[in-house]
Structure 1
Amino acid sequence: MFKMKPNIGALVASGVVLLLGVLFFFDSISDPGDIAAHGRGKLTLAVSIVISGLLFIISTGRMWFKHLWHDRYR
């Protein structure tokens, strides 16, 4: 039977990318005197949020669009 469920691989990759981005961000802001590292940390966090969001949309794409609600490839 056809079940609509997210792509688990892309969903896990989304979580890993977001977790790594947050870890790199907190590592870069740990030294209050390194201003350049703060900027790089914010940029890393922003890029990881965008990539994670795209992976989340890719993993749940079938649920977002009604024209993909079929089992044509079985």
Structure 2
Amino acid sequence: MAIVQKSHTELNPLQVSLLRLFNRPMSEKETLELKKLLTDYYADKLEVEVNRVVSEKGYTQEDFDKMLNADS
């Protein structure tokens, strides 16, 4: 079963605000620093969510090992 995602045609207020904020010349170093900042932010949020799900589901290392080796 394919998952169909709706395409968005409008920017939300936060996206517009960010575009205005960064509508200026930036060095490659600044660009990389901002990308790292955003990547770290979302990585932290993902880790919290994964830990929540693992705790909620009661997964153990043995469960993960079974999942990884299911098709082997």
The two structures have a TM-score, normalised by structure 2, of 0.42
State the structure with bigger RCO (CA 8 A, min sep 6), 1 or 2: 1
Greater helix percent: which structure? 1
